[in-house]
Amino acid sequence: MDFKIQFPDGRQVDFHKLVEFLYGITDSEMNILHLLLSTDEKLSVEDISERLKIAKTSISKPVNILLSKGLIMRDKTEGEGKRRPKYLYYTDKNAVYNKIVNDLEAIAKIFCEKYKSHIESVTIK
């Protein structure tokens, strides 16, 4: 799905690129976030690896970054026998939507305040 936001001058930015810029995340982190947003399932590292066709070893860092930014969540499941516990990753679509909207609104408010202050400071009196 191609979702673009259009600026007043006609330029467009892809929504995913805007989210990447907003949270300082990479394409691979965005791909994982998009995958988790597109399913109602909780996914393991193995599931993510299989669906995105990337190595399991390249998943832990991106998911930890997404966790630290509050964009995804994880549940811990007990391993069978003496096996290590397994983590399942997922998103709450409404929570992610609200987070993005609230963060964009906060940025717009800060921008308005800073820009007004800037304009007032450079206005010739």
3-state DSSP of 43-97:
ECHHHHHHHHCCCHHHCHHHHHHHHHCCCCEEEEECCCCCCCCEEEEECCHHHHH
53 contacts: CB under 8 Å, gap ≥ 6: none
Residues 6+ apart with CB under 8 A from 48: 32, 35, 36, 54, 59, 63, 89
* Residue 27 scores a pLDDT above 60: yes
pLDDT tier at 14, thresholds 50, 70, 90? very high
What's the farthest any 2 CA atoms get from each other in the chain? Answer: 77
The 10s digit of each residue's pLDDT in 74-104 is 999 886 767 788 899 999 999 999 999 999 9
pLDDT at 117 over 70: yes
| pLDDT bracket for residue 120 (50, 70, 90) | confident
| pLDDT at residue 5 is higher than 60 | yes
Of 21, 5, 8, the closest CA to residue 69 belongs to 21
Q: What is the pLDDT of residues 30-88, one digit of tens each?
A: 999 999 999 999 999 999 999 999 999 999 999 999 999 999 999 998 867 677 888 99
**Statement: residue 125 has pLDDT above 70:** no
